[in-house]
Amino acid sequence: MKIQRLYSLLIAIVVLVLAACGGGGGGVKLGAFPAITKTEGDAPFKLTAPSSASPAAFAFTSGDSSVASVSGDMVTVLLAGTSTITAGQPQMGSYNPTSTSAVLTVLARVCAAPTVRDNGKCVQPCAAPAKRENGVCVAPAVAASVVVKSPLTWMPVTFPASYADANAFCTTSVINGQTGWRLPTEFDLSNLYTSGSMNGQGWKLDRTWTSTSGSGGVASHVVVSLANGSLNDQANDNSAYVACVR
């Protein structure tokens, strides 16, 4: 009888020890691991592991690596959305593996005008008709032909814009897969007209912007007519055709 009681007591002690150590099928109970809210563009942050009786090191994972990535205990916020962050401990001695999770919510960044949101960042908008693709401004394909008049390469003249928009389009856009474009000088554009290289290429032959300031200073620029070669000053806010050269 005494032996049976002793045996029962021993079993109870083992059960208590296993429960304390996370044995018997379940891991130890973990402390709080609260939800997290961040905003696109926030700096990487360090995770705080939940409390645990187990001495095993925690490992952290992100359920959606497009929203946030995890390296060690550091989280890098990427794009708006939600991701489940899991904190797990492997088995160590009599301590069974265990884990818990928290939801990370990443809010979309709000951009102040005139900037626009692109892949979680606030960036300047592309100058029309360019559109943002994979983080860069890309000019649309056109039926008109590129003209090469050594040593310069000319983008087809197909659309009008203000001086500021024309300059922004040339300097910030990828055109025909290339960068490094600019507005032509008065000399560049007059030489092109004289050569006639643009004739029959599908270009719009009309008043076209140059980077040469007009007689009124920086408030105007010289435009060259690709129809007749005439030169005129034009206020920057007015519209003329756009030629980009590199």
Q: For position 96, which CATH number holds?
A: 2.60.40.10
Same domain? For 151 and 233 the reply is yes
Cα 105 to its chain centre, rounded Å, is: 18
What is residue 20's predicted lDDT score, i.e. its pLDDT? 45
Domains in the chain, number: 2
Query: Closest by alpha carbon to 147, among 242, 243, 4, 3?
Result: 243
Residue 233 maps to a domain:
yes
- Is 67 within 8 Å of 81 (Cβ atoms)? yes
What is residue 6's predicted lDDT score, i.e. its pLDDT? 46
166-170 mean pLDDT: 98
Same domain? For 136 and 80 the reply is no
What is residue 5's predicted lDDT score, i.e. its pLDDT? 56
162-177 mean pLDDT: 97
10-26 mean pLDDT: 45
What is residue 23's predicted lDDT score, i.e. its pLDDT? 42
**CB within 8 A of 204, min separation 6: which ones?**
157, 158, 159, 160, 226, 241
Residue 50 maps to a domain:
yes
Same domain? For 135 and 231 the reply is yes
Lowest mean pLDDT among 84-88, 112-116, 210-214: 112-116
Is 15's pLDDT higher than 50? no
CA distance 8 to 22: 21
Same domain? For 97 and 162 the reply is no
pTM for the model: 0.66
CA distance 242 to 166: 6
To the nearest whole percent, how much of the chain has pLDDT over 90? 81
Residue 182 maps to a domain:
yes
Same domain? For 48 and 98 the reply is yes
Residue 19 maps to a domain:
no
Residue 99 maps to a domain:
yes
Same domain? For 65 and 148 the reply is no
Same domain? For 64 and 37 the reply is yes
Same domain? For 180 and 233 the reply is yes
Lowest mean pLDDT among 13-17, 95-99, 238-242: 13-17
DSSP 48: P
Q: Residue 43 belongs to what domain range?
A: 26-107
What is the SS3 string spanning 87-99? Answer: EEECCECCECCEE
